[in-house]
């Protein structure tokens, strides 16, 4: 193959895209299902091993195509068995993916962007700025690689003489890693379709969750195109506070977000929206805030997930005390709102909620702007002090 020729990465192609490619070659559409099963169910990256495909067809695939996921830079396993991978996505960018094992499920938390433009002050990804959107192959590649790695690890430990059921290693996928999924909609939609495809990963719509900070128009598109479980990063019960904690609220305020949630519920695979609410000491954790949140819950069928804040350098924020979190939860529960307090997992390897940062080459210059603003505030404070003295 010459340097000028470029291969097509099949990892990010759903059956519709594969059928189109094969049709351009004059091949039968059923080959798309065969390829999908080899790539995603059997995690095969070598066309030579796809033995039920004609030899000439495999040669054409080898000449023009590849199956390539992002390469792994590192893998860390926490004391609670949470596992975090750092993936190289090129251009001096690295993204993070986390697997959280539980008794009844295995949840993979994946990234959709290298960085994030929403810039919530309690999220370390937002502090890193933004580089670019991930491709379908880079998104689905996290699942493709993690599944192989976990199966390989589990194969070393046999239970009653049998290997772990491959279909149960990763039972749930959540788009709660780096980035705002709905600001990379086309690639996220392509990845979702592969996750739900019975010839690929065969996940239920109820077991795939997209989390959003509230991109209202794209919430409506997701409802039309591929309604999966939805989580909304709420974090504040009124516009004034949410403008500070989730800057996107200035564009799509709470009344628009609540209306979008109500529309989504008409097609959602679950009969509730999950509201995520990070608990910040003396910022959004008062009983008055809890009562305001009860009013929102009265408008939207929801489950509230209270998330202990996981500190990171330069955030300037603190975690709410356990007593304060439980008092907040009691107000919600007494009002009949289904409320859970998220258990912090993987904190010793910086894999907990809000800690994912990867290594991003920031094109938005967010870090520089934040430092400049901090310096301006410091100079102003000094000036005020001098005047007062």
Length of the chain in terms of residues written? 389
96 is catalytic: yes
Residue the block writes with tokens 């986390």: 98
Strands 229-233 and 302-308: unpaired
3-class DSSP state for residue 319?
strand
Determine the Cα–Cα distance for residues 108 and 115; give it in Å rounded to an integer: 18
Two tokens, residue 196: 């739900």
Two tokens, residue 172: 């749930």
Strands 94-101 and 273-279: unpaired
Two tokens, residue 199: 């010839």
List, edge to edge, every strand of the sheet that includes 229-233: 71-77, 83-88, 94-101, 106-109, 172-175, 208-212, 229-233, 273-279, 302-308, 338-341
Determine the Cα–Cα distance for residues 213 and 253; give it in Å rounded to an integer: 11
Residue the block writes with tokens 């600001």: 183
Q: For residue 84, how many C-alpha atoms fall within 13 Å in the half-sphere facing its CB?
A: 24
Determine the Cα–Cα distance for residues 6 and 4; give it in Å rounded to an integer: 6
Two tokens, residue 62: 């080898």
Catalytic one of 66, 96, 116, 256: 96
Catalytic one of 162, 180, 353, 386: 353
Two tokens, residue 119: 């810039």
Q: What are phi and psi of 221, to 5 degrees?
A: -65, -40
3-class DSSP state for residue 246?
coil
Residues forming the active site: 96, 353
């Amino acid at each position: 193959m010459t340097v000028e020729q470029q291969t097509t990465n099949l990892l990010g192609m759903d059956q519709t895209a594969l059928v189109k490619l094969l049709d351009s070659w004059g091949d039968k559409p059923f080959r798309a299902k065969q390829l999908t099963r080899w790539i995603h169910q059997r995690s095969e990256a070598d066309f030579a091993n796809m033995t039920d495909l004609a030899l000439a067809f495999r040669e054409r695939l080898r000449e023009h195509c590849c199956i390539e996921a992002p390469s792994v830079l590192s893998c860390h396993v926490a004391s609670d068995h949470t596992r975090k991978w750092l993936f190289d996505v090129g251009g001096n960018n690295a993204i993070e993916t986390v697997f959280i094992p539980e008794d009844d499920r295995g949840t993979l938390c994946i990234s959709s962007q290298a960085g994030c433009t929403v810039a919530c002050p309690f999220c370390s990804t937002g502090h890193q700025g933004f580089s670019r959107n991930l491709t379908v192959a880079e998104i689905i590649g996290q699942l493709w690689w993690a599944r192989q790695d976990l199966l390989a690890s589990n194969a070393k430990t046999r239970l009653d003489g049998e290997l772990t059921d491959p279909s149960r290693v990763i039972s749930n996928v959540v788009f709660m890693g780096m980035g705002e999924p709905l600001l990379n909609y086309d690639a996220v939609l392509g990845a979702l379709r592969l996750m739900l495809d019975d010839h690929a990963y065969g996940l239920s719509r109820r077991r795939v969750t997209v989390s959003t900070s509230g991109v209202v128009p794209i919430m409506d598109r997701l409802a039309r195109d591929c309604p999966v479980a939805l989580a909304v990063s709420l974090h504040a019960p009124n516009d004034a506070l949410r403008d500070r904690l989730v800057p996107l609220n200035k564009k799509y305020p709470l009344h628009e977000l609540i209306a979008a949630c109500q529309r989504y519920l008409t097609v959602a695979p679950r009969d509730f929206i999950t509201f995520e609410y990070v608990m910040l000491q003396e910022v959004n954790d008062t009983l008055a805030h809890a009562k305001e949140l009860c009013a929102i819950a009265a408008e939207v069928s929801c489950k509230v997930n209270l998330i202990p804040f996981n500190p990171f350098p330069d955030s300037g924020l603190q975690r709410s005390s356990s007593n304060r979190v439980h008092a907040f939860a009691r107000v919600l529960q007494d009002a009949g709102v289904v409320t859970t307090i998220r258990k912090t997992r993987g904190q010793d390897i910086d894999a907990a909620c809000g800690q994912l940062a990867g290594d991003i080459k920031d094109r938005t210059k967010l870090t520089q702007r934040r430092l400049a603003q901090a310096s301006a505030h410091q100079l102003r404070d000094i000036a005020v002090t001098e005047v007062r003295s």
